[in-house]
Structures are given as structure tokens and as C-alpha cells.
Amino acid sequence: MQKFQAIIETPFAKLGVQAQNDSITSIDFMVSSLEKPFFSSGLTEFLAHQIGCYLQNPLHKFEMSLLPDGTEFQKSVWQIMQTIEAGNTLSYGDVALMLNSSPRAVGNACRRNPIPLLIPCHRIVAKNGLGGFAGQTKGSVFDIKRWLLNHEAQ
């Protein structure tokens, strides 16, 4: 059984996409993948189009049905992420205050975000710096966060 329903090439990584019915369920960053891009459905073709629009205009708002799997707390963090406009950020502490939680719990929810880019966890940063990304604070996956924030700052 094939793991992905699509692989979409971007300037920062190839994206392995999983979908269920008419919703996106996960996106994986495949920074060193040799797999070729493909689309298995109209949904994944539309996602590729939406990502192309975002790459041309970082203010583009994604119009996709999402079905992330997570706890109620994680979903509340992800919902806040989706309210942060491109070019803006919130700190882990800011989100923690909104949810009467802790910055560490918010960071853990960010790390478990199954649909990065569409649920923009890259817009959550540390009070003094970028924080982490996908559980990393350096390396090729962390460089994606820097790329996305720079793209949106244009």
C-alpha cells in the first residue's frame, strides 16, 4: 500500500500528502526524498494548486478541508495557529496564555501537528528566537521554518 496520495515539490522540500475522502490528513516534509512528484486525485491536484498560489503570494489563504488527528488540546492549539495571518507570529507563551496552559504543552502540540504549512505551526516562535520546528532546533527540517517565515515576511 502506498503511503502518500501525492508528492508535491516545493522550493523548501517535497511534501508527502495523505488524504481521506475529501480532506487532507497529513503532510510530511521529505527534505532528502528522491521520489518523483505525483497526484492521485483531484483533491491532491487542488492542494498542489493552492501551494503554488501560496508560493506566488504568501498572503494566500488555503481553502482545503483538513482532518487532523489529535487530542482536544492539540486541536485547540492548531485552531489558534490557523488564525495567525501570514507575516505574523505568536510565541509559545502567547498561545499558552490563551489556553491557560504552558508554553511546553503548546510546543508539544506544535511538534505533533500532522498538517504543517496548512496548519501554520511555523508561525509559533519562542519569546527570544525562532524556537523549534518538528522537534528540531537546527538542521534541514528547521531550515524549512526559517524559509517559510522569510517567505511570508516579503
- CA angle at 48 for the pair 80 and 81, rounded to the nearest 5°: 5
121 is catalytic: yes
Handedness of CA 60, 64, 68, 71 (dihedral sign): positive
User: Distance (Å, rounded) from C-alpha 73 to C-alpha 98?
Assistant: 12
The answer to whether 107 and 125 have CB atoms below 8 angstroms apart is no
Phi, psi of 135 (to 5 degrees): 80, 10
CA-nearest of 28, 36, 6, 150 to 87 is 150
Phi-psi region of 37 (alpha: psi -120 to 50; beta: other; left: phi over 0): beta
Q: Considering the candidates 86, 121, 124, 149, report the single residue annotated as catalytic.
A: 121
* Catalytic center residues: 121
